[in-house]
């Protein structure tokens, strides 16, 4: 494994809790000592389908929160949308079932060394990793605001928890069924100015991350984006999760989301080239 995954451990994790919350499942896994190495932005790779399954590849899930207790030891919380075969299998598992996991994986969010005004932006269940990040930032003395968005209110994860986690929360839905009508970028420029935002953290659909980057770059605000690119192996071998990223000299190369990310400098990602061949570079 890359040195970025030097703390990754394979664990037989027990499902402590599996609850349906709106359109998603909140799943809590007991991972023991591995939890001490988990940081906001890291992910977990889970073997799905059972011993006789044809689903041979692990599925990657963002870690929402971590905790330690005398009863369960180290635990990680996942917010899972039951869309594909792997996520549906995981959501169907009962409490007490053991699953094979590898964690922590990937590059985590960078935390300011001094208190800063931070804005957290989440799309759908992509907002889940931001709740744990909010806890860490507040512990560093940062002022934390949050914007949540989705196509409709059912896809906004835990709005009340979001409200409790940050200084202020704004919700946008495209159909107007919750919060204000629009997208997370609808008022972003004015929010950045009014709240003197110094750094943006985001997680959600790639189109959303691109739109945030454009506004943040124009206003000179640092933007750390947790990219949503499909991962197969999760450890940098298969090259299925590559993205075009430019370095300081402007040279573009393909970087692996699972190793060089999932958290990346939004300004370095060539969003217009995502999904296109290297001949377009």
82 and 115 fall within a common domain: no
Would you give the distance in Å from CA 4 to the centre of its chain?
17
Residues comprising the chain, all counted? 281
25 and 72 fall within a common domain: yes
49 and 132 fall within a common domain: no
pLDDT tens string 105-134: 999 999 999 999 999 999 988 888 999 999
- Choosing from 55, 74, 105, the residue where a domain stops is 105
Q: Where in the sequence is the domain holding 49, given as residue range(s)?
A: 3-105
b/e string for 89-119 if b means 16 or more Cβ within 10 A? bbbebeeeeebebbbbbbbbbebeeeebbbb
149 and 260 fall within a common domain: no
Cβ contact 93:173 at 8 Å:
no
Q: Could you tell me which of 159, 189, 185, 184 has the C-alpha nearest to residue 172?
A: 184
Q: Give the 3-state secondary structure of residue 271.
A: helix
The answer on pLDDT for 100 being more than 80 is yes
156 and 174 fall within a common domain: yes
218 and 115 fall within a common domain: yes
The dihedral sign for the CA sequence 257, 262, 267, 271: positive
What does the alpha-carbon distance between residue 157 and residue 174 come to, in Å, rounded to a whole number?
A: 15
117 and 209 fall within a common domain: yes
83 and 168 fall within a common domain: no
Q: Work out the average pLDDT over 259-274.
A: 94
154 and 91 fall within a common domain: no
- Choosing from 53, 72, 105, the residue where a domain stops is 105
71 φ, ψ (degrees, to nearest 5) = -75, -45
The answer on pLDDT for 281 being more than 90 is no
- Choosing from 88, 105, 122, the residue where a domain stops is 105
Cβ contact 36:45 at 8 Å:
no
Higher pLDDT, 231 or 71: 71
Q: Work out the average pLDDT over 35-51.
A: 93
The CATH number linked to 69 is 2.40.30.10
Question: Which distant-in-sequence residues (6+ apart) come within 8 Å of 155 by Cβ?
Answer: 22, 23, 124, 125
Domain count, the chain: 3
pLDDT tens string 205-264: 999 999 999 999 999 999 999 998 878 777 888 888 899 999 988 899 999 999 999 999
44 and 150 fall within a common domain: no
136 and 112 fall within a common domain: yes
Q: Give the 3-state secondary structure of residue 213.
A: helix
Determine what percent of the chain is predicted with pLDDT higher than 90: 77
Q: Could you tell me which of 183, 244, 177, 174 has the C-alpha nearest to residue 208?
A: 183
The CATH number linked to 185 is 3.40.50.80
What does the alpha-carbon distance between residue 129 and residue 263 come to, in Å, rounded to a whole number?
A: 11
The answer on pLDDT for 98 being more than 90 is yes
**What is the model's pLDDT at position 277?**
62
Question: Which distant-in-sequence residues (6+ apart) come within 8 Å of 278 by Cβ?
Answer: 244, 254
Which stretch, 18-27, 54-63, 187-196, has highest mean pLDDT? Answer: 187-196
**What is the model's pLDDT at position 153?**
93
DSSP 162: H
Q: Which residues pair with 243 in a beta bridge?
A: 255
44 and 25 fall within a common domain: yes
Question: Which distant-in-sequence residues (6+ apart) come within 8 Å of 161 by Cβ?
Answer: 131
């Amino acid at each position: 494994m890359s040195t970025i995954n030097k703390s990754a451990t394979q664990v037989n994790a027990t499902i402590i809790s599996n609850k349906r919350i709106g359109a998603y499942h909140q799943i809590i896994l007991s991972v023991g000592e591995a939890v001490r190495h988990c940081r906001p932005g890291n992910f977990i790779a889970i073997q799905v389908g059972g011993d006789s399954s044809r689903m041979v590849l692990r599925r990657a899930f963002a870690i929402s929160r971590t905790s330690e207790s005398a009863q369960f030891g180290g635990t990680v919380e996942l917010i899972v949308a039951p869309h594909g075969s792997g996520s549906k299998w995981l959501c169907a598992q009962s409490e007490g079932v053991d699953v094979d996991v590898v964690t922590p994986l990937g590059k985590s969010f960078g935390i300011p060394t001094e208190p800063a005004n931070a804005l957290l932006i989440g799309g759908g269940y992509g907002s889940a990793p931001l709740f744990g990040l909010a806890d860490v930032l507040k512990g560093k003395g940062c002022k934390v605001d949050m914007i949540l968005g989705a196509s409709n209110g059912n896809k906004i994860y835990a709005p009340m928890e979001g409200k409790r986690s940050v200084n202020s929360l704004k919700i946008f839905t495209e159909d107007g069924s919750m919060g204000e009508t629009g997208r997370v970028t609808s008022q972003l420029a004015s929010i950045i100015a009014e709240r003197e935002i110094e750094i943006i953290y985001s997680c959600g659909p790639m189109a959303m991350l691109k739109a945030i980057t454009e506004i943040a770059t124009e206003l000179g605000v640092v933007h750390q984006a947790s990219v949503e690119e499909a991962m197969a192996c999760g450890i940098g071998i298969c090259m299925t999760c590559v993205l075009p990223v430019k370095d300081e000299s402007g040279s573009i190369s393909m970087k692996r989301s699972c190793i060089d990310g999932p958290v990346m400098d939004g300004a370095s990602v060539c969003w217009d080239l995502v999904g296109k061949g290297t001949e377009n570079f």
